[in-house]
Chain A
Amino acid sequence: MSVLDLDHVFFLLIVNIGIAVLWGNRPFVGKILTLLYILEGLSILTSYHVLLSGAVLSSSLTFTVMQQTVQWQLGVSGGFFALITFMAAGLATWFSSGVWARSYAPIRLLHSYMALNVAAMLLLLASNDFLGLFIAWELVSLVSFLIIAINGGRSAKAAYSYILYAFLGAMAILLALIIIWNATNSFSYVEVRHHWSTMSVNRQLIVVLLLITGFGIKMAILPFHRWQAPAYAYVPAPVAAFLGAISSRMGLFALFIVLLQVVGIDVIQTLWLPFEIINMQTFLLWLAALTLIIPTFIALRQTDARLLLAWHGIGQGGFMLLGILSANALGTAGGIMHVFNHASYQAALFFAVFSVSYRTGTADLDRLGGLVTRMPISFTVMLVGIIGLAGLPPMNGFVSKWLIYKALLDEGMPLLFLAAVIGTLGTILSVYKLIHNTFLGQLRLEHENIKEVPWSMSIPMMILASIVFITGYFPGLLLESIAAMQSTLGISVVDYHLGGVNTGKGNLNMIVVVSTMLMAIGMGALIFFVLGNPRKQVTQWDNYAGGHFLTSDMRYQYSHNFYPGLMRVISPLYRNTIFWLESAIVSTVQFMAHISYALFMQANYLLYLILLVVISLLWVLAV
């Protein structure tokens, strides 16, 4: 069956946790942990061909409760996500293993929480039935809470709001599980799928909506998106990269498994919301599209680089969902591929932003500028990252987005295609603001002596940036496992090759595109450098400035309210409705709490007893 069973990985994870908890403060431990994460990733990678053939890695751990045997098996989908997890965790730990750790006091907590997170996520990825899924889900929620709250203060507040949302989600999932159990008497995916149709249509609808709510909260789909950005922004750099890269994708993984493997997209397509107004699939697709557009345009307004990226993370989640729900081989492939792509460039971007704030002490976009000459590596990484995030060729973000666009067009959903493009355009605007306000423009006087971050921090960034480029150049590397995933799930399989996909109605060959681009850029460089006179380099403060002579102490940077024209048009659309709703719910709960407490605090409390007796006797008479 399997070359290597999952126990080894679990064992390594336990070792990981042990080391992190016991010796997390020592300076060398970060390096050991990095190696361990890489080792875990490799141990899955070495047996990856087994997974690709459709087999599973299984663990010998198992327990039986309520006639249900819970065991752990890593399939190819789980393996794919696990690899991303190990990549993110390994590089994040690498980032924090050197100089960075000296400036961060609770480094032991960070290492331990990271190890716990990875372990819980692996449990989730390897779960094989709803019970195991739910247990792992709650564990993931709790350890995410820990890691989000790590900095105290603002991050603790964000973590609190996260855990409340997470509990709302968990309760929704629990309800769905109970309904499923009631109908099928089983928790295992196979059994549930088999007996799915024993549920009435209304029940099916409720269950699907509950599962979407529950798992969607983790990936912050629309009405539940408010918790995520502050939760992912106000944490230390490695945590932000790790969370932004993979944490909220656990929700996507669960949705992917549930909607595609257990429920089946064909069922989703035949379910109708009440009054037959809208198809379930269409409803979810539009939800995903809104999740893409609204957070993206919220990101456009941010002045804090970390918040900006975190909001984009939510928006890109909408992209993935859009792909997965499109019920199209290309779309599913794009959605899953986007998980990897997003993980790579989002981590790179968070590293770049946090490198800047590590050196300058701020991530406020109004207080930075011109750092490109001081931190060229961070700039390059950010450039690669934003091209990926914006989904422009030649980076990997383009490939997955292309697949999703193509799927939406092929399925005849032009408006959703438009929504996706609007999201991308908003992203381009927003990321240009990010790189402009951070690295371009005028250098501030106080940043004159800033240096590039040390190698221990820049190497992981560069690795991520090169991953972004390489998987953009050769998307077939990822498409191979995605195709395997699709064939194990029994949905239509994407026709891929190393350079991209063939659809017959419009192809993409990234090898050709990127090679042409490289050659074209070479030609451009040739034209630019060979023709004409040589250039003269001027200092960063030497520019036209309307004939006025600028000096370095003059603030001469266009950064705040970067798109005034656009904002004049769209700012009336920012209504803070969800914020308003959230605070309304909070006030309602507080009001109810006050009333309940006042109920108990009565001087003449015996009246209730009499009231109860009288009412119940009246009730008896009525009965």
Chain B
Amino acid sequence: MSGQHIFLELILMPLLAFMIGLFLVLMMRKVRARIERRVGPPFLQPLWDIIKLYVKKMQISHGVIHDLGIIMLLGGYITAEVFLPVPGMSGFTSQGDIITLIYLMMVPSLGLALGVGQCANPNGSIGISRALTAMLAYDIPFIVVIAGACLYYGTTDLTEIIALQKSQQWGLLSMPILALAGLIAIHAMLGKEPFEIYVAPAEIATGPMVEMSGKYLGSLFVMQCLQIYTITVLYTSLFLGGGYTWFDFIPKLFLVALLPVMITVIFPRYKTDDVLRWLWKWPTGLALLGLAIVVLQG
């Protein structure tokens, strides 16, 4: 891997991720609107939202850590993008495996938590408390799914996992139960109903965003794009065989993002403890079942 290539990947991957993420967000908002019999936002609305927030006149900072938290949040996801395997650009993936990736995805949570904590607004802290609790809730089934997949493929290297799926069959077919559990887990990860209490977009006064204005909120929007992209790519690589080319890769991402949105609208919202109970009961149980099958298969 030449130095040029490395540089290209470093710049290109986050950019691509941001763009695809924007479209994913757009798609999710559109689909949701259609289900609710609305028209939905125009084509570039997510981008305009971010630009609008960035160019606001008043940008209120609550201190250095407030800024630092936002930077950490962006930086964490940008790092994660670099280590994701996508068609044609997976030079970094073999340097840090899926476990690294999971932990890289926890760094932004910590960054957000730090930034919100510095704002000294107890409502923000409550939001963080909920967010971290929810992380504990959805990470457990997710980890079981990851463990099952890694055990099945016998490796934690994502490029190898993709290569194995290409030579054999998709993970979805060989581990359907795990795939289902993983889908529920990423539904919770995306913060869609019924697991949206920690984002609580409807009541901004108690949630992580309470003190986030201007480009702080804009950065959170950027983060949302990156987050959706990361999660969908991860799921695609584990169960949908990754991408041969970008042309079959991107539809897979959209498909993965679409499924939660399709069903999310019909749900009300769970309380924090109910989120925990539900996620620790059903998807975790499913995932453990899938894991047991994987183990028994040999």
**Direct A–B contact present (CB less than 8 angstroms):** yes
Quick one: CB contact mask for A508-521 with B, threshold 8 Å, 1 for yes? 11001100110111
**A536 and B61 contact, CB distance less than 8 A:** yes
CB-defined A-B contacts under 8 Å, sample of 8: A406-B97, A421-B140, A428-B110, A517-B75, A540-B62, A541-B120, A556-B121, A556-B122
Given A414-B148, A565-B130; 10 other pairs, CB 8 A cutoff: A393-B100, A441-B122, A441-B125, A506-B99, A517-B79, A524-B71, A531-B215, A538-B61, A558-B129, A565-B272
CA distance A391 to B14 in the complex (A): 24
**A414 and B291 contact, CB distance less than 8 A:** yes
Cβ of B151 within 8 Å of any chain A Cβ, yes or no, is yes
Give the residues from 99 to 149 in chain B that come closer than 8 angstroms, CB to CB, to chain A.
99-100, 103-104, 106-107, 109-110, 113-114, 117-123, 125-126, 128-130, 132-133, 135-136, 139-140, 143-144, 147-148
**A532 and B55 contact, CB distance less than 8 A:** yes
**B121 and A545 contact, CB distance less than 8 A:** yes
Quick one: CB contact mask for A214-244 with B, threshold 8 Å, 1 for yes? 0000000000000000000000000000000
**A418 and B72 contact, CB distance less than 8 A:** no
Give chain B's interface residues, CB within 8 Å of chain A: 10, 14, 53-65, 67, 70-76, 78-79, 82-83, 92, 94-100, 103-104, 106-107, 109-110, 113-114, 117-123, 125-126, 128-130, 132-133, 135-136, 139-140, 143-144, 147-148, 150-151, 154-157, 160, 205, 210-211, 214-215, 218-219, 222, 271-273, 275-277, 280, 291, 295
**A412 and B74 contact, CB distance less than 8 A:** no
Minimum Cβ distance to chain A for residue B170 (Å): 20
CA distance A406 to B151 in the complex (A): 11
Minimum Cβ distance to chain B for residue A418 (Å): 6
Cβ of A594 within 8 Å of any chain B Cβ, yes or no, is no
**B126 and A558 contact, CB distance less than 8 A:** yes
Minimum Cβ distance to chain B for residue A321 (Å): 20
CA distance A370 to B14 in the complex (A): 34
CA distance A106 to B244 in the complex (A): 70
**A525 and B205 contact, CB distance less than 8 A:** no
**B92 and A393 contact, CB distance less than 8 A:** no
CA distance A436 to B118 in the complex (A): 8
Minimum Cβ distance to chain B for residue A323 (Å): 14
**B10 and A525 contact, CB distance less than 8 A:** no
CA distance A101 to B100 in the complex (A): 43
Give the residues from 433 to 447 in chain A that come closer than 8 angstroms, CB to CB, to chain B.
435-436, 440-443
**Residues in A whose Cβ lies below 8 Å from that of B151:** 409, 412, 414
**Residues in B whose Cβ lies below 8 Å from that of A393:** 79, 100, 103-104, 107
**B104 and A536 contact, CB distance less than 8 A:** no
CA distance A315 to B142 in the complex (A): 23
Residue on A nearest B215 in the bound complex, by CB? A532
CA distance A268 to B249 in the complex (A): 48
In this complex, the member of B125, B150, B155 whose beta carbon has the largest number of chain A beta carbons within 10 angstroms is: B125
CA distance A372 to B62 in the complex (A): 12
**Residues in B whose Cβ lies below 8 Å from that of A524:** 70-75, 78
Cβ of A466 within 8 Å of any chain B Cβ, yes or no, is no
Residue on B nearest A442 in the bound complex, by CB? B120
**A398 and B103 contact, CB distance less than 8 A:** yes
Minimum Cβ distance to chain A for residue B189 (Å): 14
**B74 and A436 contact, CB distance less than 8 A:** no
**B55 and A533 contact, CB distance less than 8 A:** yes
**B65 and A537 contact, CB distance less than 8 A:** no
Supposing A405-B99, A517-B75 touch, asked if A544 and B121 sit within 8 A by C-beta, the answer is yes
Supposing A512-B92, A520-B82 touch, asked if A565 and B215 sit within 8 A by C-beta, the answer is no
**B70 and A528 contact, CB distance less than 8 A:** yes
**Residues in B whose Cβ lies below 8 Å from that of A428:** 106, 109-110, 132, 135
Supposing A392-B103, A392-B110, A531-B54 touch, asked if A523 and B92 sit within 8 A by C-beta, the answer is no
Minimum Cβ distance to chain A for residue B9 (Å): 10
**B273 and A402 contact, CB distance less than 8 A:** no
**B94 and A507 contact, CB distance less than 8 A:** yes
**B114 and A536 contact, CB distance less than 8 A:** no
Residue on A nearest B148 in the bound complex, by CB? A414
Cβ of A491 within 8 Å of any chain B Cβ, yes or no, is no
CA distance A405 to B103 in the complex (A): 12
**B214 and A532 contact, CB distance less than 8 A:** yes
**Residues in A whose Cβ lies below 8 Å from that of B128:** 432, 436
CA distance A370 to B275 in the complex (A): 30
**B276 and A569 contact, CB distance less than 8 A:** yes
CA distance A440 to B68 in the complex (A): 13
**B103 and A429 contact, CB distance less than 8 A:** no
CA distance A556 to B128 in the complex (A): 16
Interface residue from A373, A390, A440, A505 paired with B110 (Cβ < 8 Å): A390
Cβ of A153 within 8 Å of any chain B Cβ, yes or no, is no
**B155 and A505 contact, CB distance less than 8 A:** yes
Supposing A428-B106, A512-B95, A558-B125 touch, asked if A528 and B215 sit within 8 A by C-beta, the answer is yes
Supposing A412-B151, A505-B160, A565-B133 touch, asked if A537 and B61 sit within 8 A by C-beta, the answer is yes
Minimum Cβ distance to chain B for residue A548 (Å): 11
Cβ of A361 within 8 Å of any chain B Cβ, yes or no, is no
**A543 and B147 contact, CB distance less than 8 A:** no
Minimum Cβ distance to chain A for residue B114 (Å): 7
**Residues in B whose Cβ lies below 8 Å from that of A557:** 120, 122, 125
**A569 and B61 contact, CB distance less than 8 A:** no
Interface residue from A540, A562, A568 paired with B129 (Cβ < 8 Å): A562
Residue on A nearest B205 in the bound complex, by CB? A546
Interface residue from A414, A520, A563 paired with B133 (Cβ < 8 Å): A563
Residue on B nearest A547 in the bound complex, by CB? B205
Cβ of A274 within 8 Å of any chain B Cβ, yes or no, is no
**A440 and B120 contact, CB distance less than 8 A:** yes
Cβ of A417 within 8 Å of any chain B Cβ, yes or no, is yes
**A566 and B276 contact, CB distance less than 8 A:** yes
**Residues in B whose Cβ lies below 8 Å from that of A436:** 113, 117, 125, 128
**A564 and B129 contact, CB distance less than 8 A:** yes
Minimum Cβ distance to chain B for residue A530 (Å): 10
**Residues in A whose Cβ lies below 8 Å from that of B75:** 517, 520-525
**Residues in B whose Cβ lies below 8 Å from that of A536:** 58-61
**B273 and A568 contact, CB distance less than 8 A:** yes
Supposing A409-B151, A540-B62, A566-B273 touch, asked if A417 and B117 sit within 8 A by C-beta, the answer is no
**Residues in B whose Cβ lies below 8 Å from that of A569:** 273, 276-277, 280
**A521 and B71 contact, CB distance less than 8 A:** yes
**B63 and A373 contact, CB distance less than 8 A:** yes
CA distance A537 to B62 in the complex (A): 6
Instruction: Give 9 nearest A-B pairs by CB, closest first.
Output: A565-B272, A440-B117, A524-B74, A506-B156, A521-B75, A506-B97, A520-B78, A558-B122, A532-B54
**Residues in A whose Cβ lies below 8 Å from that of B154:** 505
CA distance A545 to B121 in the complex (A): 7
Cβ of A35 within 8 Å of any chain B Cβ, yes or no, is no
CA distance A496 to B154 in the complex (A): 20
**A537 and B63 contact, CB distance less than 8 A:** yes
CA distance A428 to B75 in the complex (A): 19
Supposing A414-B147, A418-B147, A528-B215 touch, asked if A429 and B273 sit within 8 A by C-beta, the answer is no
Residue on B nearest A555 in the bound complex, by CB? B122
**Residues in B whose Cβ lies below 8 Å from that of A525:** 71, 75
CA distance A526 to B92 in the complex (A): 22
**Residues in A whose Cβ lies below 8 Å from that of B119:** 543
Cβ of A426 within 8 Å of any chain B Cβ, yes or no, is yes
CA distance A554 to B140 in the complex (A): 39
**A435 and B114 contact, CB distance less than 8 A:** yes
Supposing A523-B14, A523-B74, A543-B119 touch, asked if A406 and B272 sit within 8 A by C-beta, the answer is no
Cβ of A425 within 8 Å of any chain B Cβ, yes or no, is yes
**Residues in A whose Cβ lies below 8 Å from that of B129:** 558, 562-565
Give the residues from 123 to 156 in chain A that come closer than 8 angstroms, CB to CB, to chain B.
none
**B135 and A440 contact, CB distance less than 8 A:** no
**Residues in A whose Cβ lies below 8 Å from that of B121:** 543-545, 556
